[in-house]
Amino acid sequence: MSAPAQHHSWTRFALWVVCSAFGSLSALLVALYLIDPYDTGRSPLSGASQLRGQKELNATASVGRNPNFTGAVIGNSTIALVMPSQLTAMTGIPFAQLAVAGSHVPEQLTVLDWFMRHHGSTTKALVFSIDRDTWCTRDPEKPGQNPFPFWRFSKSPLEYLSGLISVSSVEQAGRRLGLTRTAKAQSAADGYWDYEPLYAAQMADPRRMEKLHTRSDDQVGGLTKSFPAADVLEQKLRMLPADVSVVLVFPPVFTAKQPRPKTPRYVSEQACRRRFVELASRRPNTAVVDWWNDRRGMTGPDLFIDHIHYLHPIARALEQEIAAALQKVQRSAGVDRIN
């Protein structure tokens, strides 16, 4: 074969490889778009949201767009143990649990935007966890350390499609079609997932008590004048319909994490706490459930896994206070929404 003919053959082969790869990638993208692995509702084949029994974050988009829920719990694992079904039973508002473990301000506000985008005027109540380690930050634009699929909740079709092509999406598509199953954390239809079993090994650790009682550094602090994350949240809340009830929950921490009075961290954290209390006072239909400081009878080591993760007894008490706060807010507003 002459050199020109050989060159022509290699060119055709290269074009065939490129076209085949492009065609295969396009076919995969179309298939994933139609299957809609995370049940975002973007596929023309999408119906009512129905994703459940998945690792919790994989179901967040599906649960968050479900029109049956008119209330949402938003935050990270510091609010994840609050059962939406309990809030629903006590308030009559169908709640979804949309907490994302390890999430920071950008992730939580992304979840809020997603929920509001799909509910609009039907939203009745929002419960926000104001975790001090997250919301007292200097940089509200910095995401958490856990990977978060911002593309999945994006308004941009191109951003969504670019994120959709991945091995994890293919695996999730298999789960969506019932071809594979996951043995990881499972969520209920309302998004709730119980993290207690995930900490079984930590609870059995002989050194758990030593670690639990190790105090945090009280000299770390100094952010006492400006809390930019509070400014961002206040702007978001201003954009909500005025009749949406909002409860800001200051979740408890184990007593060893509480700073000693008059230390830099104590001054900083208390200033942050006041900033969010003031925020709530300026917005109608907004209340605070304040567990920032130690609660009598709620400080025992048998009630906490570590400094920030508590167990079911505290979660049940929190649910009672959240429901009471919602009822009080709505009575003050003269809105008869709660059964």
Query: Is the confidence at residue 183, as pLDDT, over 60?
Result: no
Q: Reduce the DSSP state of residue 336 to 3 states and report it.
A: coil
Query: Is the confidence at residue 85, as pLDDT, over 90?
Result: yes
Confidence of residue 178 (pLDDT cuts 50, 70, 90): confident
The pair of structure tokens assigned to 136 is: 């007292």
Q: pLDDT value at position 165? A: 87
Of 39-43, 52-56, 127-131, 312-316, minimum mean pLDDT range: 52-56
Confidence of residue 25 (pLDDT cuts 50, 70, 90): low
Share of the chain above pLDDT 90, in %: 65
Q: Domains in the chain, ordered, with CATH?
A: 71-155+185-333 (3.40.50.1110)
Q: Is 92 or 1 the better-scoring residue by pLDDT?
A: 92
b/e map of 212-247 (b: 16 or more CB within 10 Å)? beeeeebeebebeeebbbbebbbebbeebeeebbbb
Query: Is the confidence at residue 215, as pLDDT, over 50?
Result: yes
Q: How far apart are CA 21 and CA 1, in angstroms?
A: 28
Beta strands in 102-204 (DSSP E): 125-129
The per-residue pLDDT of the chain, averaged, comes to 87
Question: Is the pTM here over 0.75, yes or no?
Answer: yes
Longest dimension (CA), the chain: 91
Confidence of residue 249 (pLDDT cuts 50, 70, 90): very high
Q: pLDDT value at position 339? A: 41
On whether the CB atoms of residues 36 and 58 are closer than 8 A, the answer is no
Confidence of residue 336 (pLDDT cuts 50, 70, 90): very low
Q: pLDDT value at position 337? A: 44
Q: pLDDT tens for residues 59-78?
A: 999 999 999 999 999 999 99
Share of the chain above pLDDT 70, in %: 86
- Which residue's entry shows tokens 């009830």? 245
Q: Reduce the DSSP state of residue 55 to 3 states and report it.
A: coil
Query: Is the confidence at residue 256, as pLDDT, over 70?
Result: yes
The whole-number average pLDDT for the span 170-192 is 78
The whole-number average pLDDT for the span 150-160 is 95
The pair of structure tokens assigned to 154 is: 């994006």
Query: Is the confidence at residue 127, as pLDDT, over 80?
Result: yes
Confidence of residue 30 (pLDDT cuts 50, 70, 90): confident
Q: Is 56 or 243 the better-scoring residue by pLDDT?
A: 243
Q: pLDDT tens for residues 89-108?
A: 999 999 999 999 999 999 99
Across 54-63, 85-94, 211-220, which has the greatest mean pLDDT?
A: 85-94
Query: Is the confidence at residue 17, as pLDDT, over 80?
Result: no
Q: In terms of C-beta density within 10 A (0-12 exposed, 13-18 middle, 19 or more buried), how is residue 98 classed?
A: buried
The pair of structure tokens assigned to 300 is: 């025992």
β-bridge pairing 125-129 and 245-250: parallel
Q: Which amino acid type is present at position 181?
A: R
Query: Is the confidence at residue 138, as pLDDT, over 90?
Result: no
Q: In terms of C-beta density within 10 A (0-12 exposed, 13-18 middle, 19 or more buried), how is residue 272 classed?
A: buried
Which DSSP string do the residues of 269-306 spell out, in sequence order? HHHHHHHHHHHHHHSTTEEEEE-SS--TT---GGGBSS
